[in-house]
Structure 1
């Protein structure tokens, strides 16, 4: 057998074996296409499409560390004697949007966790809870669920006391054209008991006077807008069970290097909408010293801060004056410091005064 014949025979054998193995080979399946997250710019920055849907989602929130403090008679007789207390808060908000024939359909869920184990400095209660701060649905101007109402929007500084800091289960309709808005809401109001009243020398001050049952219903309405360098808002709320309500007006104007704010509040009696006094007037001037630093001095006077067992205002007054400093350390990391002097005069109890304030560090995302 020649070498040539040997080589040809070996090649033929290898071809037969290779063909047999090829017939039995396992063919890998084609990989499934992966749909990566796509940016959704239809509703502003920060939104992305939920994979496999046409719904846009935005996730945002903040981490806050804050130390409150108070000194003088204010700390001893009003804020429970606690001269300082610290609080840590984490908050995350999910906003989902999609287009419909009625306009954007919006859903919002805001989770909040607080840890404040000690004290009530600056009249803040102990907070060790995780709550749904807001959860609501928006479509075609209607909003239903739990959300903060118009009363929550107040001055940018931390001196005045012209809001209520509450959110309710509510049904609301708001028309908004950009330069003008108007709305009305029906709200399920909250109730407290007699242990939540605040007294000085036996005189009830700022009580949350309970309704002892009833429907717990409130009616809230607001109008506002802007023209040029001026913006304004007028709102009112009526507590049906307590048969008392309040109205508030705020106006802002860009003047010089800052923005001037003026507000006035009047209440017929203690209600869920306003319980600090019969009437108050407040002013502030927010000066943008630099792109990162804002200085906001403010002052407020409140008349008839005492209330009787029926929730009617009947004496006393309060002055508040202070300054708030806001500084952006880096993008999404900011500090806020406020110092306020508070003086309360009572008709049937000893007058008190003192200094309150807080330091806050917040990382937003």
Structure 2
């Protein structure tokens, strides 16, 4: 199997697995217990918290959650006032703000241009005094485009609003902008385990709890934390920080090779070429039947878009927001690669993908 779906999830780093192992066997105590075994487990959680915080801005606290979806829900539902967000956000943001709108909260969803980027003048007009929360994704999960989050955050600050950044795809790969107030991340997108994420909250920012109970986590998040998951997340974050430059350079080289190969074969890039994370390549070919392509190439793991929306039957809302037609959106594929992908396997997979796509045209 050639795995090219890094946006959906990343392979678990061996270092993360090794960090988790002791907490799944002999060290099984509840980290919220007062006895020695519990204190030992709590210490492991705190080491992991510090490692995750090492990739965040200064002046805040990391609260562990069950994943980024919970973190985003908490950040949005835990604040008040009008919301401004972007049409290409993840469903965890768009569906949550839609739920808030049904409860009477004012919501503005800003469009993007053909390259997937927000118009800062439009953002400036929408983010007015009285706005409560501005939510923007750092790296788009479908097309890899990097929004100008720092500039958007400055607009939010000037209006007296809080700035929420969905940094799930950018965490450990891009610098999280210092001006953010709330940052949502997920372990399994940086070679950590599934089932754990975090919300970073700037000092002085208070949120209403999403989950009520024991209030075990900073900020009042309730629930028993899993030391094994925390340890795996912490190890993955520490490794991402250590390998930050090397991982970025590797992804950039893979992107250049893959984009050149598909571009020369007539495929077109979706989203900005310049303002992007290079581990994401979303391209389209006119008339392509993506479902058939994936069926023909079952030993290559790639995607037609967000894993969260797979099976919906609807064209990608992100690609539609770029102005693509339903047919163009449905003829697009997403290739995700990174630390453990070799250039040789990537190019071999691309050659087979292109051959299978051309065979469709011949048969048609």
Q: TM-score, normalised by structure 1?
A: 0.23
Q: Which has the higher strand share?
A: 1
Larger Rg: 1
Larger RCO, structure (CA 8 Å, separation 6 or more): 2
